[in-house]
């Protein structure tokens, strides 16, 4: 089927997948009703809406010929997604001041033009300092600046 190679079709698959996954993850939460919503009501409704939008996009992709999806490059996708998982897994151990720039460097390595140079490293340090100031000092988000591996 030629329609399965379009961007609309695959965007719909992603939307429907996230919507269905949200609904499955929220299934054990109490639903409640529209007048008295439980913890599972909003994620279930939002997941259902996202799945419906995804189904509509998939059908549109099958019906109308559109722009074909180019070759998917696995290495950049793995590095960017892996950087997100790395950050989540190591934040408590490394702290924000170490986990954030390390995760950014992992994600940046996905680019073919990635090079360690002074200007981008200064930008990385500036961005890290900005995030520490905003999230830890300004907003008081409860995450460690220095993790347990460094005595924090």
State the DSSP code for 60.
H
Mean pLDDT lowest among 45-54, 80-89, 111-120 = 111-120
pTM: 0.62
Judge whether 144 and 92 are in contact, CB under 8 Å: yes
pLDDT tens string 16-71 = 999 999 999 999 988 888 888 888 899 999 999 999 999 999 998 888 877 777 77
Q: Give the C-alpha separation, 28 to 44, whole Å.
A: 11
The radius of gyration computed from the CA coordinates of the chain, to the nearest angstrom, equals 21
Q: What is the pLDDT of residue 2?
A: 53
Mean model confidence pLDDT for the chain: 90
């Amino acid at each position: 089927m030629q329609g399965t190679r379009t961007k609309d079709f695959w965007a719909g698959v992603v939307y429907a997948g996230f919507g269905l996954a949200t609904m499955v993850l929220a299934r054990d939460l109490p639903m409640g009703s529209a007048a008295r919503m439980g913890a599972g009501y909003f994620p279930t409704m939002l997941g259902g809406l996202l799945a419906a939008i995804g189904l509509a996009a998939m059908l549109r992709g099958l019906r109308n010929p559109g722009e074909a999806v180019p070759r998917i490059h696995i290495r950049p996708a793995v590095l960017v997604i892996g950087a997100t998982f790395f950050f989540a897994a190591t934040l408590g151990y490394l702290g924000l001041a170490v986990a954030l720039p390390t995760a950014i460097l992992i994600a940046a390595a996905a680019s073919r033009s990635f090079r360690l140079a002074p200007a981008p490293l200064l930008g990385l340090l500036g961005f890290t300092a900005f995030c520490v100031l905003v999230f830890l000092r300004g907003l008081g988000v409860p995450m460690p600046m220095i993790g347990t591996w460094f005595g924090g």
